[in-house]
């Protein structure tokens, strides 16, 4: 495989780190959303519940940082051509899903941080509390959390489309699409 058959290695590593982070973030977010703080405290205790919230916030900030690096590597380095080329429909769907995923994975953690801050809660990154540049505003917090949730569901749909497309190319078309993002040359 020559260099233009796949993305540069750092971009491929970032892709898989983001994928892992998104799975963990969605799993923790769905748990927090469905059960809520009080129910989680009843089930697993205050300290574990607090740790889960901190982990979810940390994952969000980490994903924002990783996505920033992904955007930089995507813009700075050559995007490999599809071999064989995608047809027009595949190209439109692929480009749309990728751009929407990038957008959603940047907007989602920003919405979460702003919703948390305006709700009067600490925005945490590991054990550090990030400065709150916004004052408490419960109505704004509720609206931002609603949009944070909606983006979560949109990301699930986009990931489903992305993974379905990858599996289609790997199992049915048997072309080289999967090799472009593989960690193993």
Residues 25-82 pLDDT 10s: 999 999 999 999 999 999 999 999 999 999 999 999 999 999 999 999 999 998 888 8
C-beta of residue 113 within 8 angstroms of C-beta of residue 123:
yes
What pLDDT score does 110 carry?
97
Residue 178 to residue 185: CA distance in whole angstroms: 11
What pLDDT score does 107 carry?
98
Handedness of CA 128, 23, 26, 163 (dihedral sign): positive
Residue 91 to residue 99: CA distance in whole angstroms: 12
**pTM for this prediction:** 0.92
């Amino acid at each position: 495989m020559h260099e233009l058959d796949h993305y540069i290695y750092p971009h491929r590593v970032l892709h898989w780190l983001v994928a892992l982070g998104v799975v963990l973030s969605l799993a923790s977010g769905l748990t927090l959303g469905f059960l809520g703080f009080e129910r989680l405290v009843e089930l697993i205790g205050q300290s574990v519940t607090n740790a889960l919230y901190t982990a979810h916030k940390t994952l969000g900030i980490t994903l924002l940082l990783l996505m920033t690096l992904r955007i930089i590597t995507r813009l700075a380095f050559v995007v490999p051509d599809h071999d064989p080329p995608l047809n027009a429909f595949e190209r439109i769907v692929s480009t749309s899903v990728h751009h929407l995923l990038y957008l959603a994975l940047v907007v989602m953690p920003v919405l979460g941080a702003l919703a948390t801050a305006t709700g009067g809660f600490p925005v945490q990154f590991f054990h550090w509390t990030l400065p709150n540049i916004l004052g408490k505003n419960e109505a704004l917090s509720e609206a931002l959390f609603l949009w944070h949730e909606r983006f979560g569901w949109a990301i699930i749909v986009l990931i489903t489309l992305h993974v379905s497309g990858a599996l289609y190319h790997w199992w049915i078309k048997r072309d080289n699409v999967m090799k472009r993002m593989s960690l193993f040359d």
